[in-house]
A and B are shown apart, each in its own frame.
Chain A
Amino acid sequence: MTTLHTEVGFDVAWAARAEARATEGREPAWALERRRTAAALMKNLSFPSREDELWRRTDFRTLEAELPALDPFAAPGRARNLDDLPAPVLERLGAETGPVALVVQRDSEVVLEQTHPELERQGVIVCSLDRALREHEGKLREKFGALLHPDFDWYTAFATATHRGGAFVYLPDGVEAKLPIRLFQWLDGAGKLASPRTVVILGRGARATVIEELLSETGERTSFHLGGTEVFLGDESRLVFGTLQDWGRNVYHYSNQRAQVGRGAELQWIQTVLGARMTKTNSYFDLAGPGAQAFVHGFMFGDQSQHFHLHTLQRHLVDHTTSDLLIKGALKDRARSIYQGLIQVSEGAQRTDAYQANRNLLLSSKARADSIPGLEILANDVRCTHGATIGQVDEEQMFYLMARGLTRLQSQRLIVEGFFVPVLDRIPLEGVRDQLRQVIERKIG
């Protein structure tokens, strides 16, 4: 499994093509140079080893065998307006048919990017990352790649060399975006590979809500979505960032998300995982300034043979920071979940208050849940706690509901739905909440 790709060479060829395409797209010299550096790194890396702690429990070998056959350059052509978007995306947009700040990616291309006149007046930028590299390179130069490094693993090096699409969201100091900014990733059919990079920058005291949705219909052949997201919260800023994943069952998904929270800033992070054949995400939260706070709420709900692997890292780099994390997981059928979390408190990061909870509900005897919450604490004046539970539906709750006339099945449905509520309630868009609820209901069956 540690085959060097140079033997195959598909990645090298793709990186060269991606660079040519980027040159044509007038990407600045430094960005092109970064692609080349990543491509060189990639050549010396192998697919992640199963010995690697982050890969022991997730086996991507089926995907890796199919990778060379995927199409990383699928470009379906730009959408003229909302009407050209896939129906499920429109459904998610719901009532918002008017001007909405929006970036929609289809396969490897951003097909629609628009902003709201009011946001534009405030100096808010919402566009594709490809455009941002051309038109706002000054704002990106210091940030792009500052948190997510290409040497993290082969996938990250590959994605850095070949990235296309993704969104750029920028809020100047003191600006509050009242309207939510919506980002979509859509994969058409099957056999596709997308590697978008998204960068969100909030200036000092800025406020925004950014909701990213990952959607596709189930196709017959494998597709692969390889995401990379970097989020920067300036001092005193506040961001609600949601990643709502509901890929078709043919999709393998691997995503690296990084957030840096500045002095006195507050991040509300929401992550929901419902779709995909296999999902692996690494979400790192750097509490980088005193008073920084990160609140992370997520859930995964797996059925059939879905495989979810969520890794989170709460990094308390300086003193007086807070993080609070809750990841819930429910599993049906033969589904499998892995939650692997770590709280790290750096030397000198006194007065850290960190919490990490993982709750798992097993709904079938064939399901499997692994929970690996961890603590690495290098300061003494701290309060760090974690808790994890794994169990089945509480019989007492069932009894209570059944005593009120509900059938066993109805009771179980209600309990499972209720299980997700604390996370669902964090999503600030009612329409989206309702749709997620429907997905959950369908999954409960």
Chain B
Amino acid sequence: MTTKTMDIRDGYAEKYGFHDAEQHVFKSRRGLDPEIVAQISDMKGEPKWMRDYRLKALEIFEKKPMPTWGGKLSDIDFQNIFYYVKPTSEEAKSWDDVPADMKRTFDKLGIPEAEQKFLSGVGAQYDSEVVYHKIKESLEKQGVIFLSCDQALKEHEELFKKYFGTVVPSTDNKFAALNSAVWSGGSFIYVPKGVQVEVPLQAYFRINTKDMGQFERTLIIVDEGAWVHYVEGCTAPIYASDSLHSAVVEIIVKPNARCRYTTIQNWSNNVYNLVTKRAVAYRDATMEWVDGNLGSKLTMKYPSVYLVEPGAKAEILSIAFAGKGQHQDAGGKVVHAAPNTSSKIVSKSISKDGGRAGYRGLVKVAKGAVDCRSNVNCDALILDEESRSDTYPYMEIEEDRVTIGHEATVSKIGDEQLFYLQSRGIGKEEAAAMIVSGFIEPIVKELPMEYAVEMNRLIQLQMEGSVG
């Protein structure tokens, strides 16, 4: 038994835990009411329909009860949050135009480096606003749009209005309603017919201000036969009080198109991460969610896919790692609403140092959706006796010509596996880390290489001092 009492989040403080002095150009007062919502809309100079949409959403938010399942939400004080913090007056197109403090932040996080090396485009959001956005010229020429959602509303209002709120209506759930009322920032992507975006587009989300709520809104439309891979990463400084991150992501995958959405969520462990992510996939389209949850205090996030036309496919890969004081209520949801659709969900969760990780999911086959196939596989590793693992899969099947399977296993690191590796001269701790890496390997191998490396490094960091 090692005696090192390393926190699972060790390393976070040095790497991401710093924060800049607050130098926003505007900060709403604490709390939430119609006045604040109207103020946000006015600051952004939005069209009237969006202002009305927000105010209506606020009413819905106030009426909806808090979810009674999942994690503990009762500590969230909606009136103590800053709903809108505008860090800078302009969105920068060139890295040089980004204010020095923020530049330093993103430099530390490796954003410009990432952009140069392997990305088609980069967006960086700092508190409520996207401060930097850049896309490769060649893609721009092909008609690919990659903007902040606010900018897209200004520049492509018709396109934006056509899809906004169609996948996740503001009535969907309490936190979707909240986002619909106070959303700010996030990415808007449109990939025209047949365009293949070979390398990923990336967005980076950062909460800097204390008691801040980040409510970005992402809308991705992948037109017929097109392909895009979008990657997002998130961090925040460590404050004593909690922050709220409540995003809504809507994705439309048109016939024969393919979209992959990868998240590496590494919020500091005082962030409530309550996110609604949903995609609609049309004929022969493919939607893939790769969802890695390592950070946050509580994450409740179940990326979902509605397969609405024949031949559509969904794949959800989920990794959840819960350390001390963390609760990862992750999972996925697939609704088979058309015949001949297929889905696959693979979930790997790890809990350690009293953390709680789990899978919550739904596979639904609607009437008429014959010849569907779905397979769900959940594995969990519990690394010590204080930790907890939950699996709550729901299957609702209304058709007989289907093949639906679910399997889940919860276990610890096998003594035999440890013994085998140790007998080959590998230290116990390293052996355990290797086993955990092997455990999540089926998902990590789906990540772009740089992310796979980062993921493995994060896991190793969290595994240090973990074996008893």
The judgment on whether A and B are partners is: yes
Chain B residues, Cβ within 8 Å of A388: 393, 395, 404-407
CB pair B401–A392 under 8 Å, yes or no, is yes
**Which of B69, B387, B397 is the one whose CB lies under 8 Å from A380?**
B387
Q: Which B residue sits closest to A393, measured CB to CB?
A: B400
**Which of A365, A375, A381 is the one whose CB lies under 8 Å from B408?**
A375
A17 within 8 A of B: no
Chain B residues, Cβ within 8 Å of A367: 400
CB pair A383–B391 under 8 Å, yes or no, is no
CB pair B405–A389 under 8 Å, yes or no, is yes
CB pair B410–A384 under 8 Å, yes or no, is yes
Chain B residues, Cβ within 8 Å of A373: 391, 393, 406, 408
Please give the distance in Å from B319's CB to the nearest CB on chain A: 18
**Which of A348, A383, A391 is the one whose CB lies under 8 Å from B403?**
A391
CB pair B382–A380 under 8 Å, yes or no, is yes
CB pair B409–A372 under 8 Å, yes or no, is no
> Given that A362-B402, A372-B393, A390-B395 are known contacts, is A385 also in contact with B407, CB under 8 Å in the complex?
yes
CB pair A364–B404 under 8 Å, yes or no, is no
Q: How far is the CA of A383 from the CA of B413 in the complex (A)?
A: 11
Q: How far is the CA of A381 from the CA of B389 in the complex (A)?
A: 12
B388 within 8 A of A: yes
Chain A residues, Cβ within 8 Å of B387: 378, 380
Q: Which A residue sits closest to B394, measured CB to CB?
A: A372
CB pair A372–B395 under 8 Å, yes or no, is yes
Kindly supply a per-residue 1/0 record for chain A positions 134-150, scoring 1 wherever the CB is within 8 Å of any chain B CB and 0 otherwise.
00000000000000000
CB pair A363–B408 under 8 Å, yes or no, is no
Chain B residues, Cβ within 8 Å of A389: 404-406
Kindly supply a per-residue 1/0 record for chain A positions 351-381, scoring 1 wherever the CB is within 8 Å of any chain B CB and 0 otherwise.
0000000001011110111111111111111
Kindly supply a per-residue 1/0 record for chain B positions 348-369, scoring 1 wherever the CB is within 8 Å of any chain A CB and 0 otherwise.
0000000000000000000100
CB pair A365–B399 under 8 Å, yes or no, is yes
> Given that A388-B406, A392-B401 are known contacts, is A370 also in contact with B394, CB under 8 Å in the complex?
yes
CB pair A387–B407 under 8 Å, yes or no, is yes
A423 within 8 A of B: no
Q: How far is the CA of A376 from the CA of B408 in the complex (A)?
A: 12
Chain B residues, Cβ within 8 Å of A83: none
SS of A interface (majority)? strand
B370 within 8 A of A: yes
A433 within 8 A of B: no
Chain B residues, Cβ within 8 Å of A369: 395, 397
**Which of A350, A368, A376, A384 is the one whose CB lies under 8 Å from B397?**
A368
CB pair B407–A371 under 8 Å, yes or no, is no
Please give the distance in Å from A356's CB to the nearest CB on chain B: 9
Please give the distance in Å from B409's CB to the nearest CB on chain A: 5
A386 within 8 A of B: yes
Q: How far is the CA of A374 from the CA of B382 in the complex (A)?
A: 16
Chain B residues, Cβ within 8 Å of A375: 380, 389-392, 408, 410
B411 within 8 A of A: yes
CB pair A376–B402 under 8 Å, yes or no, is no
Q: How far is the CA of A374 from the CA of B404 in the complex (A)?
A: 16
**Which of B68, B385, B391, B398 is the one whose CB lies under 8 Å from A374?**
B391
Q: How far is the CA of A377 from the CA of B404 in the complex (A)?
A: 25
Size of the A side of the interface (Cβ < 8 Å), in residues, is 36
CB pair B391–A364 under 8 Å, yes or no, is no
Most interface-central of B68, B397, B400, B405 (chain A CB within 10 A): B400
B412 within 8 A of A: yes
A16 within 8 A of B: no
Chain A residues, Cβ within 8 Å of B409: 383-385
> Given that A53-B69, A386-B407, A386-B408 are known contacts, is A377 also in contact with B399, CB under 8 Å in the complex?
no
Q: How far is the CA of A380 from the CA of B387 in the complex (A)?
A: 7
Q: Which A residue sits closest to B370, measured CB to CB?
A: A365
Chain A residues, Cβ within 8 Å of B69: 53
B396 within 8 A of A: yes
B91 within 8 A of A: no
Chain B residues, Cβ within 8 Å of A368: 396-398
Q: How far is the CA of A149 from the CA of B11 in the complex (A)?
A: 49
A425 within 8 A of B: no
Please give the distance in Å from A293's CB to the nearest CB on chain B: 19
Please give the distance in Å from A339's CB to the nearest CB on chain B: 9
Chain A residues, Cβ within 8 Å of B393: 371-374, 388
A382 within 8 A of B: yes
B383 within 8 A of A: yes
Chain A residues, Cβ within 8 Å of B367: 365
Q: Which B residue sits closest to A347, measured CB to CB?
A: B385
Please give the distance in Å from A379's CB to the nearest CB on chain B: 6
CB pair B385–A365 under 8 Å, yes or no, is no
CB pair B407–A383 under 8 Å, yes or no, is no
> Given that A374-B391, A374-B393 are known contacts, is A364 also in contact with B400, CB under 8 Å in the complex?
yes
Please give the distance in Å from A189's CB to the nearest CB on chain B: 35
Kindly supply a per-residue 1/0 record for chain A positions 168-193, scoring 1 wherever the CB is within 8 Å of any chain B CB and 0 otherwise.
00000000000000000000000000
Q: Which A residue sits closest to B375, measured CB to CB?
A: A389
Q: How far is the CA of A373 from the CA of B395 in the complex (A)?
A: 9
Please give the distance in Å from A164's CB to the nearest CB on chain B: 36
Most interface-central of A347, A387, A390, A392 (chain B CB within 10 A): A390
CB pair B400–A382 under 8 Å, yes or no, is no
CB pair A391–B408 under 8 Å, yes or no, is no
**Restricting to A326-363, which residues have a CB under 8 Å from any CB of B?**
347-348, 350, 360, 362-363
Most interface-central of A370, A388, A392 (chain B CB within 10 A): A388
> Given that A377-B382, A380-B383 are known contacts, is A392 also in contact with B408, CB under 8 Å in the complex?
no
CB pair B402–A374 under 8 Å, yes or no, is no
B384 within 8 A of A: yes
Q: How far is the CA of A89 from the CA of B99 in the complex (A)?
A: 85
Please give the distance in Å from A388's CB to the nearest CB on chain B: 4
Kindly supply a per-residue 1/0 record for chain B positions 161-172, scoring 1 wherever the CB is within 8 Å of any chain A CB and 0 otherwise.
000000000000
Q: Which B residue sits closest to A337, measured CB to CB?
A: B397
CB pair B402–A392 under 8 Å, yes or no, is yes
CB pair A374–B390 under 8 Å, yes or no, is yes
Q: How far is the CA of A320 from the CA of B442 in the complex (A)?
A: 32
Chain A residues, Cβ within 8 Å of B411: 382-384
**Restricting to B436-463, which residues have a CB under 8 Å from any CB of A?**
none
> Given that A347-B385, A375-B408 are known contacts, is A386 also in contact with B391, CB under 8 Å in the complex?
yes
Chain B residues, Cβ within 8 Å of A364: 400
Please give the distance in Å from B8's CB to the nearest CB on chain A: 15
Q: How far is the CA of A374 from the CA of B400 in the complex (A)?
A: 23
CB pair B406–A370 under 8 Å, yes or no, is no
Q: How far is the CA of A362 from the CA of B391 in the complex (A)?
A: 25
CB pair B395–A370 under 8 Å, yes or no, is yes
Provide 14 A-B residue pairs closer than 8 Å at the C-beta atoms, listed in order of the A residue.
A347-B385, A350-B385, A362-B400, A363-B400, A371-B393, A371-B394, A374-B392, A375-B380, A384-B411, A385-B407, A385-B408, A387-B407, A390-B395, A390-B402
A sample of 15 more A-B contacts (CB under 8 A), given A365-B367, A370-B396, is A364-B400, A365-B370, A365-B399, A365-B401, A373-B393, A374-B391, A376-B390, A377-B390, A380-B384, A387-B406, A389-B406, A390-B402, A391-B404, A392-B400, A392-B402
Give me the interface of B with A, judged by CB distance under 8 Å: 68-69, 367, 370, 380, 382-412
The list of the 10 closest CB pairs from A to B, nearest first, reads: A362-B400, A380-B382, A375-B391, A390-B404, A371-B395, A384-B410, A388-B406, A377-B389, A380-B412, A390-B397
